[in-house]
A and B are shown apart, each in its own frame.
Chain A
Amino acid sequence: MSDRDESDADPRAEQVRYDQARYVENGQYEPLLSEKDQTRVEIGASDGDDGDDSADGGSPLPDDLTRDSLELPELSEPELARHYTRLSQMIYGIDSGPYPLGSCTMKYNPKFTEDVAALPKVAVHPDRSERSVQGTLELMYRLQDYLGRIGGMDAVTLQPPAGAAGEFVGIRVAAAYHEHEGEGHRDEVIIPESAHGTNFASAALGGYEVVSLPSDEGGRVDLEALEAALSENTAALMLTNPNTLGLFERDIEEIAEMVHDVGGLLYYDGANLNALLGRARPGDMGFDVMHYNVHKTFATPHGGGGPGAGPVGVVDELAPFLPAPRVRSNGESKSEPGYELFDPEHTIGKVHGYQGNWLVLVKAFAYIARLGDEGLADASATAVLNANYLASRIGYEVPYEPFHHEFVASAGDQDAADVAKRMLDYGVHPPTTKWPEIVPEALMTEPTEVEGKGTLDRLAAAFNAVAAEDDETLESAPERTTARRIDQTSAARSPRLSWQALEPESESDE
């Protein structure tokens, strides 16, 4: 990276200055509504006779369980509007600036998907009769089909409510398949050391022993170690491709053959699918089961507690075990062709109510339909191009190449967490830090396809500015954000999980 040519950089890149809004009232950041005002509101009997014993409005509950008044914030509409506007100015999101948080694929969520999800016709009650919601079922059916085609999978369930939930469902489906085949003794799932933490958790929660697989010197699956780990007890190997270093697992066909030869299944973690859209499909590589992170690849909102969606795709052999119900076309066998719900023959049961988080699925459908085959392939290519352009512009070393949609740089002698804090001062979100551990002081960076050259140059300028700063500056960062360095230790040792815990010390310690 030493020969980078500064002359191509956007001239605005060095000039970005940033100060985040900071509203303080009575010595604290924008107080909660309930801290701004507490007005006692009488909620007496409907006959207007407040205050006497009959003031419970005829409630059948005993008197000691009812009350005549309560305290609520009473604020005007502008006060309310300003409160939420201020809060929105004191945070940072993809709508504020670039967000290259590696592995998370923090795409911009196009606003039209919100419009589509807000259409009155989308708000159907899930208990309505099939005949009266044919459009809804058709959309689900087509989304199952889209996802199946994108992943090279034969059957898809839309039900799991998040990526990790999808992993768990995939593992349960694999377990049900092995059980059905009389192979229930298989009790091991093999997972590369550098895999996403949820892989280990999903396998363990699914009842499996986790066998950890070291990577080879190039950062990919070590075939000899895999050979040694595989046995008649192998239920599955969980992989993501490209892997967490952004490297394509070139030996994937051989890996698939090795796993299948011992009777195991190959699980694809869809977290990095954004690198492959329209170019390669997990199904074609030999994967048997996969989950899709629609919030990453298809620009639905990222979780933070949900609601989300983590559809799961499988090959034909595993389709009978998927959660119930799924949607199918009833074809021409009936007098009224259309769509219907059905329970797969050996289903593992329900993993969520109805069809999962429907409105999230609508957004994913809208995104895929708007971009189309060509648009998705272009998005993926641009994501890979952007990651490679950004890496070529920064001074930090990137030890593992050639990478795809993301790269892992090393902060070298600097502390990666401090680098991240300091980057906030340049008006950009930092990369994921200190993971994967195979790269010392890792800066895992994924700009996604949504950023143009100007923003990428600005991001590179932020990386390079921080790289040139001394430890003292880094340790005291951030200085231009609403909140400064967060005291993680105190937060973890004495968590205060309710606004009432913010009362003066004497009352709050327990």
Chain B
Amino acid sequence: MSFEIPDDRRYLESHEWALEDDGTVRVGISDFAQDELGDVVFVELPDEGDALNQEEEFGVVESIKAVSDLYAPVSGEVTAVNADLFDAPELVNDDPFGDGWMLEIDADDASELEALLTAAEYEEQIA
């Protein structure tokens, strides 16, 4: 099975993606991750204003098969969370790279992203 892996963003080994736009980093989980999890039934996210460190746990995604921690790809302040997921967690399955996004972080240092996996490296990891 082949999975969508957009090359406009970076990836964590723990399957989160990070898309930077002018210092703001949008975060979600990959197509592969949502497929492995199966139907997502619950997403727990931090509050706006919370400070996160890179690789710190920021939330939890729960499916009918498993509960997984979510890790921050970059340090910074949470400026937005996707509240749609609280009522419609299926967005994570339906559109993991789009409407299923989880939060936005105002990055302290966007260059932290350079340490993360590229799309090609991530593809190799999940192959």
Contacts and interface: CB of A to CB of B under 8 A. Distances in A.
B1 interface: no
Contacts of A488: 39, 64
A493 interface: yes
Contacts of B41: 489, 492-493
B42 interface: yes
Contacts of B90: 493
B64 to A, nearest CB: 5
B89 interface: yes
Most buried by A among B42, B64, B89: B64
Interface in A208-239: none
Contacts of B89: 493
Interface in A482-498: 488-489, 492-493
A495 to B, nearest CB: 9
Nearest to B65: A434
In this complex, the interface size class of chain B, counting residues with CB under 8 Å from chain A, is: under 10
A497 to B, nearest CB: 14
Interface string B90-123: 1000000000000000000000000000000000
Interface in B51-96: 62, 64, 89-90
A488 B41 CA distance: 10
Interface of A: 488-489, 492-493
8 contacts: A488-B39, A488-B64, A489-B39, A489-B64, A492-B62, A492-B64, A493-B39, A493-B90
A502 B33 CA distance: 34
Contacts, number: 15
Contacts of A492: 39, 41-42, 62, 64
A285 to B, nearest CB: 33
A417 to B, nearest CB: 10
Contacts of B64: 488-489, 492
Contacts of A493: 39, 41-42, 89-90
Nearest to A495: B41
A488 B64 CA distance: 7
A493 B62 CA distance: 10
A347 to B, nearest CB: 35
A142 B20 CA distance: 68
A438 B66 CA distance: 16
B106 to A, nearest CB: 31
Nearest to A488: B64
Contacts of A489: 39, 41, 64
Nearest to B38: A489
B68 to A, nearest CB: 15
A493 B85 CA distance: 11
B18 to A, nearest CB: 27
Nearest to B64: A488
A493 B42 CA distance: 7
Interface string B30-44: 000000000101100
A363 B73 CA distance: 54
B121 to A, nearest CB: 26
Given A489-B41, A493-B90, 5 more contacts: A488-B64, A489-B39, A489-B64, A492-B39, A492-B41
A62 to B, nearest CB: 37
A356 B34 CA distance: 44
A89 B62 CA distance: 34
A367 B114 CA distance: 65
A487 to B, nearest CB: 10
Most buried by A among B39, B62, B90: B39
A413 to B, nearest CB: 16
A489 B41 CA distance: 7
The 8 closest A-B pairs by CB, nearest first: A492-B41, A489-B39, A488-B64, A493-B41, A489-B64, A492-B64, A493-B89, A489-B41
A509 to B, nearest CB: 10
A498 to B, nearest CB: 19
A384 to B, nearest CB: 32
B107 to A, nearest CB: 30
Nearest to A510: B87
A433 to B, nearest CB: 11
A488 B42 CA distance: 13
Contacts of B62: 492
A488 B38 CA distance: 11
B19 to A, nearest CB: 26
A492 B65 CA distance: 11
A129 B62 CA distance: 50
A23 B85 CA distance: 38
A493 B38 CA distance: 13
A489 B62 CA distance: 11
A488 B66 CA distance: 13
Nearest to A489: B39
Interface string B3-44: 000000000000000000000000000000000000101100
A427 B39 CA distance: 29
A488 B89 CA distance: 14
Nearest to B41: A492
